[in-house]
Structure 1
Amino acid sequence: MFVSLRIGVFIRVLVVVALTVAAVALALGWRAQPGPLQDGARDTVPETTQSRETFADGRYRVSGTDGAGLNVRACPDVDCIKVGWIAENDRFLGECWQSGSPVSGNSRWLRGEVDGSTGFVAAHYLRDEGASRVPTCVDIEVVG
């Protein structure tokens, strides 16, 4: 009886630990498959202080605009002036990311060039096209 009681307690402790780890992983946004960029996305837009040379090019595709396309803004905010536009399903090459005003809960914006103008697009409407990883814009300014 004493041995079976100890095993039952041990199993309960293991279950509680497993549920706690799962809840923390879920809260931190860990996921098995890549998907749309979201706040906390670890594989697509990392927070890092590494130099730009260690990152692959930031290839993304515009998606989720219901055919309306995506405005390119002068700064990472929905109230900034429009400096360009990208059609639904077109590609965008991001050079870095920066926090800005949230769009559907996602406050990350990617900076890149569109039709000769440099601007920001809301990461909420971008889908990763492979091993796209870009540094923060602050890292680019520091690294040069």
Structure 2
Amino acid sequence: MRTLLGKTGVAVGALALMASPLLVTAPASAADAKSCSHGFSNKSSKTGRIIGDGVNVRTGPHTSCGSTGALNYDDGVYFHCWTTGTNVHGESRWWHIRVNTTNWQGWVSNYYLRAVPPTAGEKC
């Protein structure tokens, strides 16, 4: 009898844990799952300039992705490709860039870049 109650108690406890809302680890929606590991390739030959000060260069096309540093007004960049990401002041296009004369690369919102019209062939 004691063994049966012990096993029943363990089973009831396990069921209670499985039903607990605290164990849910999935994001609330697909929009919450923003990846900072977005692929890119060099599909553009365009160059451009930054139009802001302290503009973050990020590890992915989202404001929640880490910053590897900041650029300032008129810093030059080479464009690789673009994708959609976090909306920044009405602009959801982000460019993967390389800073002129360096190997520093990352993502910058199109909002902070001097007029860069995209083409479909430049999409990441």
TM-score calculated relative to the size of structure 1: 0.48
Q: Which runs of 5+ in 1 are unaligned?
A: 1-51, 138-144
Divergent runs of 4+, >6 A? none
Match of 1:107 among 92, 106, 118: 92
- Check if 1:71 corresponds to 2:28: no
Q: Which runs of 5+ in 2 are unaligned?
A: 1-42
Contact 1:103 1:124 in 2 (8 A): yes
- Check if 1:116 corresponds to 2:112: no
CA–CA distance in structure 2, aligned partners of residues 101 and 108 of structure 1? 8
CA–CA distance in structure 1, aligned partners of residues 61 and 118 of structure 2? 20
Query: Matches of residues 26-65 of structure 1 in structure 2 within 5 Å?
Result: 52=43, 57-63=45-51, 65=52
Q: Deviations over 1:94-129 (max 9, x none)?
A: 110010000001000000223423210010111137
Aligned to 2:82: 97
CA–CA distance in structure 1, aligned partners of residues 90 and 98 of structure 2? 24
Q: Percent identity?
A: 30
Q: How many residues align?
A: 80
Structure with more contact order per residue of length (Cα contacts < 8 Å, sep ≥ 6): 1
> Following TM superposition, by how much is the alpha carbon of 1:132 offset from its aligned partner in structure 2, in angstroms?
7.7
TM-score calculated relative to the size of structure 2: 0.55
Return the index of the structure with the highest Cα Rg.
2
Aligned in 2, Cα 1:128/1:105: closer, same or farther, shift over 3 Å?
A: closer
